[in-house]
Amino acid sequence: MPARTGRQYIEGLRAQEREVWLGGERVRDVTSHPGLAGGVKSIAALYDMQHDPALREVMTCASPTSGEPIGRSFDAPTTREGLEARGRMMLTWARATCGMMGRSPDFMNVSYAAWGAAADFFGEKRAEFGRNIRNYVEYIRENDLTLTHALINLQRSRDASGMFNLEEGTALQVIRETDAGIVVRGARILATLGPISDEIAVYSPRLGRHTENHSPFALHFAIPCGTKGLKFLCRDSFDLGRSHFDHPLGSRFEEMDSIVFFDDVLVPWERVFLLYDVDRLNRTAQVTQSATHSAHQGAAKNLAKCEFVLGLALLMTKALGNGHLAHTEERIGELMLQTELMRGCMRAAEADAAPNQWGVMTPRVVTIESTRNLFMTAYPRMIEILHLLGSSSFLLTPSEADFDGPLKADIEQYLATDTMAAKDRVKLFRLAWDVAGSAFGSRQVLYERFFASDPLTRARIMSTLYDKDEVMDRVRAFLDS
């Protein structure tokens, strides 16, 4: 099946029964559950864009095996033009969700595209793992499947060493092998999009500081979300069942985060890509450069999100008539700076791209990784700026129903500004609240702080990647002069 439509995505979810729990109840159909259906609809709309005649060229490319159109994020580009085309595709999806669905399917697709190209790395010691990953990448690409992932083992305690404590009975581990595959038990977090994906991928960069070579916690596999023994436990839904007017983002872009329990789950051998090999697991993201490619997807999302917040802030200042005040100009200037920094990093990383050892054209690594580190503090600051610009207007936000109620005349008289009718002002600030104040908006801030790991780990990654000698040599040369 080439690039899917939204309807095919929804049918795929319905066809695969899965164990999803939300609010104490088992969800029978994730596509119609009020807490999940809005997100399903938005992901479906992304798939439909692949069939929009005006966008088809941007969104798809030819399959290397069948020649049929496939989603472009499955492409492992070999040229700079190909990489830029994939960047445009991801930006187009990100803009369609205002940057608010970080885990749109391209996030995982680009990682697996990188792993498919680097199949020899997986097969170096066990040839079957190389074959497995190659076949799997072809399978998800040709069937245009949606993946979630759960990388993090729950920890019962944290110590100052930065070592991740993998407790038996909590962290996910292999408990036995059978002729059919491996049996795994434990829990993982935090599968965003988990309940509404086709497949779940499990790997674990969090073994980064473990030194033993053989560990039952060292795993990389992918299985269907409906696999027996797999259970998804959702947080509260931030889709409150309200109208687009009342809750513009939450009613559309709920991508849902979930804890995943693995209750003696059988992973067939053909779905195992790495096993027990701590060193290989630790090196995967860097050697295959999958992390660089997922950072590229993140950069596109950041840019779309910056543009959206900036546009929103400008409209807020128009509504309130405070755009000409000096402190407003300074704050808007800061939002413009973040936006252009993201655009610049994405552009520079593409312009300075080079083929990696697997022949995949890869964005310049430190430039694209910088966008992740930057956004952990930039996004919370952007939201702080919205708070400072909007103040009480965030709370002068009667519901859509109030505009038809007995206070309609009062609302229309008193909530109008010099530049905006009351209803337009309220609509705008309900959107602003969903970005900066609601549960949906607060989760976005948390997402940007942590989705790409914790700040300490991110700083260590940057330090590892950075060419420190070059800058130290400049100072040494100065000292010697």
Ligand X SMILES: Cc1cc2nc3c(=O)[nH]c(=O)nc-3n(C[C@H](O)[C@H](O)[C@H](O)COP(=O)(O)OP(=O)(O)OC[C@H]3O[C@@H](n4cnc5c(N)ncnc54)[C@H](O)[C@@H]3O)c2cc1C
The one-letter amino acid at 319: A
Q: φ, ψ for residue 50 (rounded to 5)?
A: -65, -20
Question: Using CA atoms, how far apart are residues 232 and 228, in angstroms rounded to an integer?
Answer: 12
Stretch that binds ligand X, among 22-30, 68-76, 152-160, 339-347 (CB under 6 A): 152-160
Contact 106, 73 (CB under 8 A): yes
Which tokens go with 66? 């069948």
Question: Using CA atoms, how far apart are residues 107 and 297, in angstroms rounded to an integer?
Answer: 6
Pick from 200, 208, 453, 461 the residue near ligand X by CB under 6 A: 453
Which 178-237 positions form the footprint of ligand X (CB under 6 A)?
A: 189-192
Tell me if 162 contacts ligand X by CB under 6 A.
Answer: yes
In total, the chain counts a number of residues equal to 481
Other Cβ atoms within 10 Å of 452 Cβ, number: 22
Q: For ligand X, which is the closer residue by CB, 64 or 455?
A: 455
Q: CB of residue 60 vs ligand X: minimum separation in angstroms? A: 25
Q: CB of residue 106 vs ligand X: minimum separation in angstroms? A: 14
Question: Using CA atoms, how far apart are residues 371 and 348, in angstroms rounded to an integer?
Answer: 11
Which tokens go with 262? 């693995």
Question: Using CA atoms, how far apart are residues 377 and 382, in angstroms rounded to an integer?
Answer: 9
Question: Using CA atoms, how far apart are residues 399 and 229, in angstroms rounded to an integer?
Answer: 43
Q: For ligand X, which is the closer residue by CB, 2 or 102?
A: 102
Q: For ligand X, which is the closer residue by CB, 409 or 456?
A: 456
Tell me if 451 contacts ligand X by CB under 6 A.
Answer: yes
Contact 254, 198 (CB under 8 A): no
Pick from 357, 454, 468, 474 the residue near ligand X by CB under 6 A: 454
Stretch that binds ligand X, among 12-20, 153-161, 246-254, 286-294 (CB under 6 A): 153-161
Tell me if 477 contacts ligand X by CB under 6 A.
Answer: no
The one-letter amino acid at 68: E
Tell me if 446 contacts ligand X by CB under 6 A.
Answer: yes
CA of 132: how far to CAs of 136, 201, 278, 373, 455, in Å? 6, 14, 19, 33, 34
Tell me if 150 contacts ligand X by CB under 6 A.
Answer: yes
> Reduced to 3 states, what is the DSSP secondary structure of residue 261?
strand
Size of the site for ligand X (CB under 6 A): 23
Tell me if 456 contacts ligand X by CB under 6 A.
Answer: yes
Q: CB of residue 446 vs ligand X: minimum separation in angstroms? A: 4
**E-strand spans in 125-229?**
147-149, 152-153, 173-177, 181-189, 199-202, 214-224
DSSP-based helix, strand, coil % in the chain, nearest 5:
50, 15, 30
Stretch that binds ligand X, among 12-20, 56-64, 143-151, 460-468 (CB under 6 A): 143-151
Pick from 56, 158, 209, 468 the residue near ligand X by CB under 6 A: 158
Tell me if 409 contacts ligand X by CB under 6 A.
Answer: no
Q: CB of residue 442 vs ligand X: minimum separation in angstroms? A: 10
Q: φ, ψ for residue 260 (rounded to 5)?
A: -120, 125
Q: For ligand X, which is the closer residue by CB, 294 or 356?
A: 294
Q: CB of residue 218 vs ligand X: minimum separation in angstroms? A: 16
Other Cβ atoms within 10 Å of 219 Cβ, number: 25
Q: For ligand X, which is the closer residue by CB, 160 or 326?
A: 160
Tell me if 301 contacts ligand X by CB under 6 A.
Answer: no
Pick from 257, 277, 307, 350 the residue near ligand X by CB under 6 A: 257
Tell me if 160 contacts ligand X by CB under 6 A.
Answer: yes
Q: CB of residue 47 vs ligand X: minimum separation in angstroms? A: 19
Which tokens go with 161? 């060493």
Place of tokens 């190909």: 82
Which 415-444 positions form the footprint of ligand X (CB under 6 A)?
A: 443
Q: For ligand X, which is the closer residue by CB, 130 or 208?
A: 208
Tell me if 450 contacts ligand X by CB under 6 A.
Answer: yes
Which residues here bind ligand X, judged by CB under 6 A? 103, 149-152, 158-160, 162, 189-192, 257, 443, 446-447, 450-451, 453-456
